Structure 1
Amino acid sequence: MGMKFVLAFIVTWALQAQAAWDLNDVSYLMPLPKEASANGLLGTQDMGKGGALLTASMLERMPPLALHMNREQTAQAIKVVAVRIDPCFPLPTPQSCQKQIRLVWQPFELTRRGTIQSVDAAVHTFYVLTDDEFKSLLKDLAAWKKKYPANTQYVPLQVHPAWANEGDQSASLQDFNAVIKKYAGLGNISRATVMVLRGAGDMWAFAGFSYENGAMDMFPVPRLNGRTSQAFVNTAIPFDHFSGGGISPAPKGANTFNYLVAESARLGEGTEEMIRNEVRAAFRVENPKNFNPENLDCVSCHVAQPAIRWVLDNRSGLKADQLWDSEIYKNVKYDLKNVTPDMWNTRMIRGFGYFNEHVSISQRVINESAEVADMLNQDYNLKKGRK
């Protein structure tokens, strides 16, 4: 057994050593700003490739992100909280690759305690790169990392180590922002997806918009037979269970967990088989080898993590993580640990950003980041250059 352990350790170490691109090299989480508007994060005032990163007119065509803010206040408050790079987004067809930079935006506001927190809303913007532009981006990121050599190897996805201590005034963050503005802007934006909070603070609505030649059109949500929006309702108090609604409209067929996130109090004795099937679906949804953004509906993607956590915490006797171990995404080259606090909170459905004052990262984003890092490590090495 000792020799097997040593061999396993050596193999794991060798794989990690080869991972020049790691999770925090492909997905970048910004620091929580110290001020609501005047901070070092990118905003609507920043000009990128061919124009602004996100224009006021685009925001006006989307649902209001925060009902207590007017359009002008929203445009000032919304900031880039995360950046992701992707060499193979499944467009224009699921079988082909589109190279992209993606920006995650959230509004920030001042609390009554005088602290800064995020508003529970988000915009996700997509910028298309040519092959040559993507190669140039990778070279610029490699140069940036050489200038600010923070350790990212086998580090879980988190606020990026290069600016974690100095916050939004970090020189490394400002230089990173300059790289992003070089490759993303009005000149190559292709779409935007939106999540807003409605009702009595218990309904999350999702929609997506394509952008071409100044025109914005809603596009269908996958698995919903042409519907262009979707919502999740959860009126639970306290926030440790599901109650009051669930997914609407709900996807049909296999790989769905509609009952699990609708009214968990009903999932008592006699529902074990249904829980097993639905938590298996949630594990499959978290695994990017099964689903991509072009064949997965919005709510299932965002709610899979709290659904799994509820089962593990409240129906531990089912041993769901052991039963469906083969469905859980694994990749030994990276630390897939989730640093999000309070994952038991069933209202915390943020993909990559902040929930109030706390980091919020979905396991799906962590797993996708590992897949992206794998693709980049096959073609590009930060230390040795392109193979």
Structure 2
Amino acid sequence: MAWPDIGRGLSILGVVLLHASTSIPAESSTIIQPLNEALTPVRLPLFFLISGYFSGKVLRQSLSELCVKRLWFFLVPYLVWASVDIVQSAAASTAMQSTGALTFAAWGDRVLQGITVYWFFQMLVVANLFLWLTRRLNTFFVLIASLAPLLLLAQEQMVPDWQFKIMVFVPIFMLGARGKDLVTVIADFSHHPLVATGLIAMGVLIEARYRVFRGLSSDGALFDPMVLGPAVIDQNDVNILVEFIYRLALIPTAVAVAVVVSKLPGITTFVQFLGRNTLVFYIGHPLGMFAFMHLFTVRGIDFEPHLNLWFLLQLAMCLTGCAAVYFLSMVPVAGWIVAPPPIAKFFPRLRGAGAATPTTAAAGAPATRTSTTTG
């Protein structure tokens, strides 16, 4: 079963290319923009779907096992690398806008709300906790319950980014975890050329309709505010709902694309390599972004005359950051900030349940150097 690694590979490729371009002003004019748009349906939704797909062990774990054998492997890299991001971001802001120094309260607020490029780790913690809390419920009711955060659209204030991520990505994670059989059926049928073609064509139609909506929405409000008792539903709420439906509707297309790519000689090997090393790419590529920002962006350099060359330079720096993290992960002790050591041995009651490793326990996280399709 190669498509999960392929799906992860496509996802991390999309993330790296997106971040390597969006840090540059006028990024929509770079040569990579068409590919960025094409990877939209497989970038993050497929990542969360596959993370959920390999999270079945959570349903059989106690809370202590969940914390020691799973959440530990998410929280350590999140706290370390999110702190790096927050500190460098504050330094760049100070250099560009003369803002005040970073405070502990501001750091804590950003960590708790996931205001960092490493928010994926935090969202995996939330998704796994939700999966564990609903483990005794019927699958149908669990999937319905995962939609409950959409009720936050009724609040008067603007929906914070962390709430938006819960609304959109936790249900997709739950679909992968509790709807694993359905996802497997879609993947199996996608091996048939006619089915794969049909699903991809469906995705093209969904994408076209979504772009029409985005165009009309940018021209002006399509929806007058609706008062439902104490709740007010406005255009922004409708936009969020559409964003969720759009990502959910493209899941079959994303799975079909992963299956099709898994059949392409040469390309399969490269994308599968990315999929089996997503942890390294996910942690490492922002380091190149940070370096680019402090070396060039904060100095007010005009990127416009050579936009594509600047993009290629930042992409090279992102890949250099990935290589640095790869080698760091192999350094004794220091590598723990990439892949923390198992700690189940310190909890005697948990030893008999099978000691976790950074790869197998975090199979729902970005993958390390070995395949996670066996998890």
Comparing both chains, which one has the higher relative contact order based on Cα–Cα distances under 8 Å and sequence gaps of 6 or more? 2
More helix by share: 2
TM-score by length of 1: 0.24
More strand by share: 1
TM-score by length of 2: 0.24
